[in-house]
Amino acid sequence: MNSQERVWTPYRGPFDPCPPVPFKTYVVPPNQFINFQPPNWPQFSLPEALRAGTLWPALFSPYESKSKGGK
C-alpha cells in the first residue's frame, strides 16, 4: 500500500438497506506534512518534472485511477 493512502471503515447501521461497504480509501497529499520548503531540495530533471507534475520529488504523489484498473 502507498504510504500516502489511508483506509477507514464506514459506519454500518443495523437497518441500513444498502449493501455494506467494507472499507474506503483516500489519499493524503505530501504537502500536508511539510511546514516549509528547505533550501537545496533535490529536483527532478525538466522532462521528469513534466511527467511527475512537480519539480521536487518530496512533493510527488502518484495518481492511480481506480476505474482504470489501478489499485
Give tens-digit pLDDT for 11-66.
988 898 988 889 998 888 888 888 888 889 999 999 999 999 999 998 888 877 77
pTM of the model as a whole: 0.59
* Beta carbons of 24 and 5 less than 8 angstroms apart: no
User: Residue 23 sits in which domain range?
Assistant: 5-59
Residue 53 region by backbone torsions, left for phi larger than 0, else alpha for psi between -120 and 50, else beta: left
**pLDDT number for residue 69:** 58
In a domain, 20, yes or no: yes
In a domain, 23, yes or no: yes
Residue 68 has pLDDT above 70, yes or no: no
In a domain, 66, yes or no: no
C-alpha closest to that of 8 among 25, 20, 21: 25
Query: Between 70 and 51, whose confidence is greater?
Result: 51
Distance of alpha carbon 40 from alpha carbon 5, whole angstroms? 28
In a domain, 69, yes or no: no
In a domain, 67, yes or no: no
* Number of domains into which the chain is organized: 1
What does DSSP assign to residue 62?
-
**pLDDT number for residue 45:** 95
